[in-house]
Structure 1
Amino acid sequence: MKTMKKALIIGCGVAGPAAALFVKRAGFEPIVFEAMREHDDYAGLFLNVGRNGLRVLEELGVNGSLIAEGFEMRVMSFRSASGKWLGNVGTKEAEPHGVTVKRSLLHRVLREEAQRQGIPIELGKKLVKVQMTSDQVIVHFQDGTSATGDFLIGCDGIHSKSRSILLPNAAQPSYTGLISFGGFARSKELVPEPGVQQMVFGKKAFFGYLVKEDGEIYWFGNMNMPGTPTRKDLQSIPASEWRQTITELYRRDPSPIPDIIRRTEDEIGLYPIYDMLTQPEWHSGKAVWIGDAIHAVSPNGGQGASLALEDAFVLAKCLRDMDDFDKAFARFQMLRQERVERIVRYSRMIGQRKHATNPVQVFFRDLMLPHFLKTSSKQSLSWMYDYRIDWNEKIPTLGER
């Protein structure tokens, strides 16, 4: 593994470019393949990058623009459907949990850094087949082309094609029963509160929003939906119908929620929420998976992007320090699995607490939530946010943590 070996990286979202940058640093030759025919820097909504994820971006030297353009997360302020304030989690004086940024910004800064370092990114490469020999991996794409490398890193998301090909018996993504939607609006009437995200338990659905200094509003909502909808299913419903449904959903909720929805000029984004609580195998032969492709987490904990960034960092260190791919992949899984599965469970629990609509459940939630929020503010989430990785430390041997 001392000679330059080629890493085939499937997917160019968050995990793919991050993995490419770190494995290049570890002494490998990465190439990234993306199924989309062009980069869409206007797609998607926004996400949270926890301070654990920001440390990884700082290691890569790309955290500056996210901090400059993002919204610091310090306080979550909760209200009931009647407008009653229920309590806060966090304080304005505390260290930020991280930043909220447009998804496209995070994708772009990682991709541009990879390109700046000369890492090839090939578009329109929809994976259809993977072959493995004793010493090579060959990937085949829908356009008839193929590529050969020494190992493969699957970074192609929750519905990973590479995982379905090479781990056909892997646990499938689990629908949480909720869909997420949201968008961007502007208002001169809403006063910006730096560091504060507003969370409202609406009469029929949960709603969250923040107001930036320039008056731009980031907002999202969640609602129950039966079955197992895909994003394609949601997009098959006309945008005008969704807008009417969402407007009606929040019609009787306190100001400024109805006004925020009304002021949203662009289409409202829609996404079903899936996660994967556990996967017994994260690697197969000369292939390994990271990020949502192997441990998808719901957005409620705000850790999906950060976990993918951590994965890329730790995997590259394992590849650098272990003497063969199988040992490196096994060590990577051992070092990461307990942490990420804890966060997946935590995020699912947070999501379930948001969505009580039965009047009896709502009564007891609003009665008990102020006490719960006080307790939560005193409890430390340092186990999640203060995770640190040092590039200069060698990967611990078996028996060490």
Structure 2
Amino acid sequence: MTKVKTALVVGGGIAGPVAAMALRQAGIEARVYEAYGSTAENVGGGLSIAPNGLAALKVIGADEAVRAIGVPMSSIVMHSWTGKRLASFGGPAGLEPQQFVMRPDLYRALYGEAARRGIAVEHGKRLVSAEHLGSPAAPAGVRAHFADGTTAEADVLIGADGIRSTVRTLIDPGAPKPRYTGLLGFGCLSTGTGLPSTGDAMHMMFGKRAFFGYQVYADGSCGWFANLPHPEPMSWSEANRTSPQEWLRVLTAAFADDRLPVLDILRTADLSQFVAVGGMEDIPRVPNWHRGRMVLIGDAAHATSPSSGQGASLAAESAVQLARCLRDLPAEQAFGAYERLRRERVERIIAAAARTNSNKAAGPVARVLRDALLPTAMKLLAKPEKMAWQFIHPIDWQAPVTV
């Protein structure tokens, strides 16, 4: 069996360019195929890159591109809707802080870094099908078919095409669909808030009716996000049929009784920066990550809710680990080794985020119980060692991968 020399990466968001850079470092020529006809520089809200994500990006020399656009976030301060401080979470000792970034900035930084390295990204290439080359028992490669009638071939095809992955359904037509978490997501930048800087601390609040997180910068501007319980899922397009002004009115009503300065932040929101994400989703478990010469990474394989704070970081980890495996092993063996390295870790993080979502989306009765138990729970959880398993996850690029 021969080693892999070429790869098609389907999806040009966050995971795709990282995978292409990691593959290039492993000696594998990769080309990225993106469904949308243009770049996605104005899509998405704020997110965090955890220390483990930065460590994975450092393996391929892409970490500085992220630090250049990020704001350090060394602690998270939790509050109840009454304003009571419940706990403060810091990272394990010796680790650099998380970086809070806007997704458009992160996309632009990684896309630009990949382009600087000569990695091609073809736009307007929506994957519709793929077939294995060679015999079914011993596939020799993959041919991808795109909606514009073109095709492309390589030794392997990597699905980095997100939570609604086409590659996932090609690998397994019965693959599970995304699960709605009961929350709608929003993000924005507010300017001229008049609030004091929170330094490198992100403040989060279990509000009476919704969840809110914010970080005030030295110039008085403020990056924030909100999670609003909603009975029915809502797609991105459906959420954006409602104007930012109307969503701000809805959010203002949801946070009217809360005692942190949420209303001041909402009042000074820059409407040009407002993002309505739509329904927040996850997939608890994807049974089949690979088949033949096709494999999944990022949200296509392990879609965790944004509440985890780990989505982009896990995607970077998986991209680097897959490249290591393909560097050292034939495709089918590499895919098995990759899954063994990744599955337990990512599914544990997905489950932890799901528990957080259940607290955010609590109904009236559950909310009373939640608020009564939160102070005690936070005291038990607000210890760096409790989160160390998530944040400390070194990848030894030089170590050979074996079966």
Q: Does 1:253 align with 2:266?
A: no
Query: 2:63 aligned with 1:63, yes or no?
Result: yes
Q: Distance in 2 between matches of 1:91 and 1:61?
A: 23
CA 1:5 to 1:224, structure 2 compared with 1: closer, same or farther past 3 Å? same
Which structure 2 residues correspond to residues 235-314 of structure 1 after superposition, within 5 A?
Answer: 235-266=240-271, 267-314=274-321
- What corresponds to 2:370 in structure 1? 365
In the other structure, the counterpart of 1:390 is: 396
| Distance in 1 of aligned mates of 2:8 and 2:53 | 24
Change (3 A) 1:38 1:144: same
Instruction: Identify which range, 93-102 or 36-45, moves more after superposition.
Output: 93-102
CA distance in 2, matches of 1:232, 1:239: 13
In structure 2, relative to structure 1, the CA distance for the partners of 1:97 and 1:381 (3 Å cut) is farther
User: Which runs of 5 or more structure 2 residues have no equivalent in the other structure?
Assistant: 135-139
- Which is worse superposed, 82-91 or 106-115? 82-91
Match of 2:182 among 177, 180, 190: 177
Compared CA separation, residues 91 and 289, structure 1 to 2 (3 A): closer
The TM-score, its normalising length taken from structure 1, stands at 0.93
Alpha-carbon distance between aligned partners in 1 of 2:170 and 2:146, rounded to the nearest angstrom: 13
Q: Using the TM superposition, give the Cα deviation of residue 3 of structure 1 relative to its aligned residue in structure 2, in angstroms.
A: 7.0
Alpha-carbon spacing, 1:168–1:4, altered in 2? closer, same or farther (3 Å): closer
**Aligned counterpart, 1:34:** 34
Q: Which amino acid aligns with 1:124?
A: G
Letter in 1 for 2:254: L
Q: Secondary structure at the match of 1:350?
A: helix
Q: Corresponding residue for 2:137?
A: none
Answer whether contact 1:92 1:195 (CA < 8 A) is retained.
no
Superposed, 1:15-94 pairs within 5 Å as: 15-90=15-90
TM-score (norm 2): 0.92
Question: 2:170 is matched by which residue type in structure 1?
Answer: I
Whether the aligned pair in 1 keeps the contact of 2:229 and 2:360 (CA below 8 Å) is no
8 Å CA contact retained: 2:186, 2:227: yes
Contact 2:328–2:402 under 8 Å retained in 1: no
Structure 1 pair 174–63 and aligned structure 2 pair: CA distance change class (3 A)? same
Is 1:5 the counterpart of 2:2? The answer is: no
Tell me: CA distance 1:91–1:171, structure 2 relative to 1, closer, same or farther (3 Å).
Answer: closer
User: Contact 2:81–2:207 at 8 Å: present in 1 too?
Assistant: yes
Match of 1:340 in 2: 346
Corresponding position of 1:166:
171
Q: Are the aligned partners of 1:36 and 1:125 in contact in 2 as well (CA < 8 Å)?
A: yes
Q: 3-state SS of the aligned residue for 2:227?
A: strand
Which of the residues 196, 203, 215 maps onto 1:198? 203
The DSSP-based 3-state class of the residue aligned with 1:294 is helix
Residues 305 and 203 (structure 1 numbering): CA distance in 2 closer, same or farther, change over 3 Å?
same
* Cα 1:27–1:128 shift into 2, 3 Å: same
Comparing 82-91 and 131-140, the one that deviates more: 82-91
1:357 Cα deviation from its structure 2 partner: 4.3
CA distance in 2, matches of 1:314, 1:342: 18
How many Å apart are 1:283 and its aligned residue? 0.3
Q: Kindly indicate whether the alpha-carbon contact (under 8 Å) linking 1:74 and 1:92 is maintained by their aligned counterparts in 2.
A: no
Q: Which amino acid aligns with 1:177?
A: G
Q: How many residues align?
A: 395
2:233 to 228, 235, 244: 228
Offset of residue 188 of structure 1:
4.8
Deviation at 1:368, TM superposition (A): 2.8
State the Cα distance separating 1:146 from its structure 2 match.
Answer: 1.5
Q: Deviations over 1:294-353 (max 9, x none)?
A: 11000111000011000011101111111x211111111111111110010011111212
1:162 aligned counterpart, secondary structure: helix
Match of 2:141 among 116, 133, 136: 136
Q: Deviations over 1:109-146 (max 9, x none)?
A: 22222211211111111112212222231112222222
Paired residues of 1:81 and 1:201 also in contact (CA < 8 A):
yes
Query: What residue identity is the alignment partner of 1:26?
Result: A
- 1:380 paired to 2:392: no
Q: Residue type of the partner of 1:123?
A: H
Identity over aligned residues, as a percent? 38
Tell me, what secondary structure is at the counterpart of 1:381?
A: helix
Residue 6 of structure 1, CA deviation: 1.7
| 89 and 4 in structure 1: CA distance in 2 versus 1, 3 angstrom threshold | closer
Aligned residues of 1:86 and 1:366 also touching (Cα < 8 A) = no
Letter in 2 for 1:303: Q
